[in-house]
Amino acid sequence: MTHDPHGWTALVLAGQRPGVDPVAAHFGLEAKALMPVAGELMLGRVLMALADTPQVARIIVLAQNTLKLKAHPDLAWAVEEPRITFQVSGPTISGSVLAAVNDPAIGLPVLVTTADNVMLTPATLAEFIAGAGSSDVSVAMVERARLEAAVGPNRRTWLTFKGGAYTGANLFALTAPAARNALTFWERVEQDRKSVLRLASHFGPVLMAKLLLRRMTVHEALAAAGTKLGASAAPVLLSDGRMGVDVDKVEDHALAERLLTARN
């Protein structure tokens, strides 16, 4: 497989948020990224999907403890792979991504994903990259009906707009310098990410009212949010409903195992 040498840089967020991660703790592990799912490390699955995607020129794993990740025998292949490097991340996710984007050796365009995005495949990455062309920031999302058709009813953080409910797919594209404005904003609001109300409050009362009353489609809402951020923003709606599943809870791990076993 030939890779585009001028292609995308993928940043894989493989660090730990402050405090104990409930999923890692359940399995007696310190690092969530090193948790196996259906016989493969979560981080290994994500790195393999990226390494098998021709549009991805290089992959940077960001984590607080890169030595622990690199020492794992199941990641020996990744340590040997010339396109994959491991970098120590900063204290916040957005700050770490911003530092990478501002590094002249990295620059743009950049894909951002997470070590627990275990349903990721080269086909989904190609679909997302194809859809991420026209805006500064692209956000991968999965429609609720599509996810439930693929995996059954599911507890997720659902964002409800005019025309449907959506969940994020832990996949972002930053393609233009204005994307830095979005990262700077995200650094300010990151702690509110799980509360739709608190997150919406950062965008001002008019946009918040329209969101609460479901007056906007997902495309209109992201476009309006982007205007506030000083960057154009658009969703890329993924066709694989399983992409709405990441491993945030113990029951997510069981679901991911079931889906991956079925796929294999």
- The model carries a pTM of 0.91
CATH number for 8-263: choose from 3.30.70.60, 2.60.40.1260, 2.40.50.100, 3.90.550.10.
3.90.550.10
pLDDT digits (tens, 9 = 90+) for 57-105: 999 999 999 999 999 999 999 999 999 999 999 888 888 999 999 999 8
Q: Torsion angle of alpha carbons 93, 94, 95, 96, nearest 10°? A: 50
Q: Give residue 222's region: left, alpha or beta (phi > 0; psi -120 to 50).
A: alpha
**Which tokens go with 262?**
């079925």
Residue 113 sits at φ, ψ, to 5 deg, of -145, -175
Omega of the bond leading into 109 within 30 degrees of 0 (cis): yes
Confidence bin at 56 (pLDDT 50/70/90): very high
Q: What percent of the chain has pLDDT over 70?
A: 94
Q: For position 196, what pLDDT does the model report?
A: 64
Q: For position 26, what pLDDT does the model report?
A: 85
Cα dihedral across residues 228, 233, 237, 243: positive or negative: negative
Domain map (residue ranges) of the chain: 8-263
pLDDT digits (tens, 9 = 90+) for 101-156: 999 989 899 999 999 999 999 999 999 999 997 899 999 999 999 999 999 887 77
CA distance 259 to 91: 33
pLDDT digits (tens, 9 = 90+) for 223-240: 988 888 899 999 999 999
